[in-house]
Amino acid sequence: MTHFADYIPYVACLLAIVTFNNRAQQAGNPLPSSLTFAISGGAAFLIGAWIGNWIIYWYFLGIQPANILPHPDTVFSTPDWKWVPICDPVRVSSLAKTLLVTPGCLLGIACAMFAWNRQYGLENRFIRPPPDYSKFGVVAAGHGGFEGSLINNPKVRSVVTQIVVIGSVALLFYFIVANTAHNLDRLGIASGFKFLCDPARYDVTGGFMPVSSTETHWAAFTAGLLNTFVVAVFGCIAATILGVIIGVLRLSNNWIVSKLAAVYVETLRNIPVLLQILFWYGIFILLPAPRQSLKIFDTFYLNNRGFLGPKLFVGDAPVLSAEQQATMISEMGDVKYQRLVEEAGGEENVAAALAESVRPVFGDGSSVLFISLIVAFFAVWFYRRWARKRQEATGQQSPVFLVSAGTIILFPILCLLIAGTTLELQHTELKGFNFVGGTSISVSFVALWFALSVYTAAFIAEIVRAGILAVPYGQTEASYALGLRPGQAMRLNILPQALRVIVPPLTSQYLNLTKNSSLAQVVGFLEIVGTIGGITLNQTGQAVECIVITMAVYLIISLVISVFMNWYNKRIALVER
Amino acid sequence: MKIKLASLVLGAVVGVSAATAASAATLDDVKARGELLCGVSTGVAGFAAKDDSGNWGGVDVDVCKAVAAAVLGDAGKVKYVPTTSKERFTALQSGEVDLLSRVTTWTFSRDVKLGFEFTGVNYYDGQGFMVKKSLGVTSALQLDGATVCVQTGTTTELNLADYFRTNNMTYKAVNVETADESVENYVNNACDVYTTDSSALAAQRSGLADPSAHLVLPEIISKEPLGPLVRHGDNQWGDVVRWSLNAMVIAEEKGVTMANVDEMKGSNDPEIKRLLGSDGDMGAQLGLSADWAYQIVKQVGNYGESFEAHIGVNTPIGLDRGLNQLWTKGGILYAPPMR
Ligand SMILES: N[C@@H](CCC(=O)N[C@@H](CS)C(=O)NCC(=O)O)C(=O)O
């Protein structure tokens, strides 16, 4: 139950701030406003956190928050993001906190900075001075300074118009929502987001995170989200690389090369992407069946189910307590347990087999890898800065690429060796119908990824070509005059300038690719539209909620891409002198 | 300007309310429209499929026709809306169709949670598996690790998950949206097994290049009572659809056929008299004309005729009546009395 008492700390906090401020102002002696603002920021956070909790619990999940404060053990422990604990009442509270702490703190800090600026007036960036009406021959009277009726007062008019517009939009929105809710209710269709915590009852297979039918719709959704994400990210990367190559080749002086590139572009961008996905899928399922897989060095296999290879485990399997083992065994059921004992070769090996079955790719002791990677990245960053300074000062170049790549690859390996971390390869092997163990990528994914990349690359190639052509030819000649080789001229002079033209339209190609990934349906790859926007929608009948979630995900992904690309665009635009 | 804006908003609001508050009286809507909007599948031979001349036929289609005959007096006044398994419920909920007659399993959650009303069962089915004989598999319990073709948004998908889990087997699913895609994937070896309602398995097996190269495994892993459904809350319309189907079953039970329905009008059997409208006012009670059931039998036929014409032993699909035989002949088909 939400207690009336839950309100008390927040309301008290707010009241205290308001009174404090008022008192101080009445006394004509404002407090150092940074303090006030910091306190307000903190209060804003608390209130935000509380409202957030309340919304998540009560509205979405229909659970009354038992405890508003996060459980101390749970604040930052979300080991696997599938388990982002939306459906766990204790841990969801900590999630809400984590999500809300950040904006709350930022708000607090921003307020404090604002106040500090204002007080010391060092930089009056945030505050515009009042307009000087006197230069229009208007004598200041009160605030607006306009004579006559209120209707003629532009300030009043603009405020009223805005209120009316915002009010109407809000009203319209309210009516749509209320109407939908009413109609759903009339039809006896459930609404709300509680279904996310019900068992999904379907399996998500063939993607990058298997989810079993006993897990929740939320888990199935996160699996779909991950699959969408992987397609989008890898698709954009591949499309960019391919697109840049084709775009540059199309400008080649070699007639054959440039014509081939032109044919690529003109063919691929004029065939609907749906057909291309089906085409590649049709090609890939022509590969031999698993039992006759194509082998590469006896470690990699290609067949009409997917591409398979070994899996690398970094670190050891977890050590399971007797209690954990007991629960796992009891959940397993007798038949499965017998099979496990058989496969492990006796009761005495069961503990090891159990631990192996839940062994993560990055197991105990793998933190060495992450820490050394971070260290390597920092080292490289400093090294590059040093190298640039040196080049600017002395004109001497350093082998930046070699050293960077070497450090990032070799340093972590060295650390792993010194620390003696277990590195183990798990090979994939044929068992019954298919391969088990190792890493596998389904044919559906490969076809989808391939088709999207190849299709989008055709558009990117044209964008790249346009970008390069937009750089005056004099730049190329200037580079040659400085003694740069054609490759260097392209890499160091032309491409960086072309990027300014390339980046904005490139963003829309990334967005297109991401949205086109929903065509995964035709090859049976379950991404977000297949899971929450498909099976979950169909099984729960909660179309409105599922579509809202699906749209929100695409919106968020698109916004993130846009924000990132805009940031990048600004960054490269600044290079201009 | 403000006034304009306000009227605009008001107009929009009224428009929205008018658009979403669709009337609950589907029967009136259908009569006024002069056409029945019937949701069917995108194509399962014998249940709902287009023939070479583009006309829909099948046992599911016959339910649509029966309702149109009863309500509009003409079995031809149906607009068929093909729906995939995934889209079908949204189509019915949103009012895009008046009735869904599309190999849809009557389940608790669809009946209760999704806001529908099932109005009977026109085929008692169960889920099965089909494999290529060359695989050497003879039982579904040998399918551990297999890749399975399945249609998304079906009970099939859920039963599959349950069956493999309870039998401690693993599988990979290729989830696609239409029956055609599933079959194509199966034929092209994108999966080892194809699973769906066993009636559809039979229908689709008959359409394969070499049906004898494929084996339907003996296990039936679920109950799939397939039947027509309407939106919950419009009881009058629900009654019309329910009794249109019942009329077909009762007609078979009483031996009323498309051929003899005119002479049966003069029968002395009181139930036949009530069925064909020569006694009582059952048509009026449903909001239909007195000869509603006569029109069904005359234009569409009784249940048995529909079955034999589309999926019976003399068709390529060749399904036995089995459970779908009348209760008087050893099956479980049993319509409540018409009185
Ligand atoms: N009875 C099951 C399955 C129904 C179903 O969708 N069957 C497929 C398999 S044949 C079908 O009819 N597909 C036709 C289509 O895709 O239009 C259910 O109601 O969920």
Domain boundaries, chain B: 24-124+226-329, 127-222
B161 to A202: CB separation less than 8 angstroms, yes or no: yes
Closest CB to A285 among B22, B175, B189: B189
pLDDT value at residue A216: 86
Q: Are A128 and A69 in contact (CB under 8 A)?
A: no
What is the rounded distance in angstroms from the CA atom of residue A541 to the CA atom of residue A530? 14
Nearest CA to ligand 1 atom 6: B85
On whether any CB of chain B is under 8 Å from the CB of A524, the answer is yes
Element holding A369 (H helix, E strand): helix A367-394
pLDDT value at residue A33: 54
Least confident of A54-58, A356-360, B81-85, B278-282: A54-58
For residues B99-128, give the mean pLDDT.
Answer: 95
Which of B70, B50, B73 shows the shortest CA–CA distance to B60? B50
Pseudo-torsion of CA B107, B110, B113, B118, nearest 10°? -90
ipTM reported for the complex, 2 dp: 0.84
pLDDT value at residue B24: 65
Quick: pLDDT tens for A369-400. 888 888 899 899 899 999 999 988 998 888 88
CATH topology of domain B127-222: D-Maltodextrin-Binding Protein; domain 2 (3.40.190)
For chain A, what percent of residues have pLDDT higher than 90? 31
Q: Are B237 and B27 in contact (CB under 8 A)?
A: yes
A433 to B192: CB separation less than 8 angstroms, yes or no: yes
- Is the pLDDT at A225 greater than 50, yes or no? yes
Query: A197: which 2 tokens?
Result: 């915590």
On whether any CB of chain B is under 8 Å from the CB of A357, the answer is no
Query: A249: which 2 tokens?
Result: 């080749």
Quick: pLDDT tens for A437-486. 888 899 999 999 999 999 999 999 999 999 999 999 999 999 999 999 98
What is the rounded distance in angstroms from the CA atom of residue A369 to the CA atom of residue B131? 47
Query: Is there a shared CATH topology between the B24-124+226-329 domain and the B127-222 domain?
Result: yes
- Is the pLDDT at A84 greater than 50, yes or no? no
Query: A160: which 2 tokens?
Result: 């009223």
Name residue, tokens 């234009």.
Answer: B299
pLDDT value at residue A175: 75
Q: What angle do CA A451, A457, A460 make, to 5 degrees?
A: 150
Query: What 3-state DSSP class applies to A262?
Result: helix
Please report which confidence band the pLDDT of residue B21 belongs to, taking 50, 70 and 90 as the band edges: very low
Name the CATH superfamily, with its identifier, for domain B24-124+226-329. Answer: Periplasmic binding protein-like II (3.40.190.10)
What is the rounded distance in angstroms from the CA atom of residue B91 to the CA atom of residue B201? 25
Query: A450: which 2 tokens?
Result: 């391939």
pLDDT value at residue A78: 34
Radius of gyration of chain B (CA): 22
Q: Are B124 and B230 in contact (CB under 8 A)?
A: no
- Is the pLDDT at B42 greater than 80, yes or no? yes
Please report which confidence band the pLDDT of residue A193 belongs to, taking 50, 70 and 90 as the band edges: confident
pLDDT value at residue A122: 41
Q: Which of A198, A205, A523 to mutate to test the interface with B (most CBs of B within 10 A)?
A: A205
Task: Report the atom number in ligand 1 closest to the C-alpha of B105.
Answer: 19
Query: What 3-state DSSP class applies to B332?
Result: coil
CATH topology of domain A217-313+437-572: MetI-like fold (1.10.3720)
Reported for A66-75, long-range contacts at CB under 8 A and 24+ positions apart, including other chains, are: A66/A90, A67/A93, A68/A6, A68/A93, A69/A93, A70/A94, A70/A97
Specify the pTM.
Answer: 0.78
A164 to B161: CB separation less than 8 angstroms, yes or no: no
Quick: pLDDT tens for B74-94. 999 999 999 999 889 999 988
Closest CB to A189 among B85, B93, B143: B93
pLDDT value at residue A358: 77
B302 within ligand 1 shell (Cβ under 6 A) = no
Q: What angle do CA A70, A73, A76 make, to 5 degrees?
A: 80
Domain boundaries, chain A: 4-126, 150-186, 217-313+437-572, 318-431
For residues B85-109, give the mean pLDDT.
Answer: 93
B224 within ligand 1 shell (Cβ under 6 A) = yes
* DSSP β-bridge partners for residue B229: B100, B118
Query: What 3-state DSSP class applies to B193?
Result: strand
Q: Are A283 and A529 in contact (CB under 8 A)?
A: no
Please report which confidence band the pLDDT of residue B8 belongs to, taking 50, 70 and 90 as the band edges: very low
Residues of chain B in contact with residue A434, where contact means CB-CB under 8 angstroms, are 145-147, 172
Quick: pLDDT tens for B191-201. 999 999 999 99
pLDDT value at residue A50: 57
- Is the pLDDT at B7 greater than 50, yes or no? no
Q: Give B25: exposed, middle or buried? Use CB within 10 Å, 0-12, 13-18, 19+.
A: middle
Q: Are B294 and B265 in contact (CB under 8 A)?
A: yes
Quick: pLDDT tens for A98-119. 455 545 555 665 665 566 555 5
Q: How far is CA A503 from CA A342, A420, B89, in A?
A: 58, 45, 43
For residues B286-299, give the mean pLDDT.
Answer: 96
What is the rounded distance in angstroms from the CA atom of residue A313 to the CA atom of residue A369? 12
- Is the pLDDT at B325 greater than 50, yes or no? yes
A524 to B85: CB separation less than 8 angstroms, yes or no: no
A301 phi, psi to nearest 5 deg: -130, 140
Q: How many residues does chain A have?
A: 577
What is the rounded distance in angstroms from the CA atom of residue A38 to the CA atom of residue A17? 11
Nearest CA to ligand 1 atom 13: B179
Q: Give B213: exposed, middle or buried? Use CB within 10 Å, 0-12, 13-18, 19+.
A: exposed
- DSSP H helical segments within chain B, as ranges? 2-20, 26-33, 59-72, 88-93, 108-112, 155-166, 179-187, 198-206, 235-253, 261-264, 270-276, 282-286, 292-299, 303-310
Q: Are A41 and A174 in contact (CB under 8 A)?
A: no
Question: Between A2 and B285, where is the model more confident?
Answer: B285
CA atoms within 13 A on the CB side of A219: 23
Residue B44 DSSP class: B
- Is the pLDDT at A9 greater than 80, yes or no? no
Quick: pLDDT tens for A524-564. 999 999 999 999 999 998 888 899 899 999 998 898 888 88
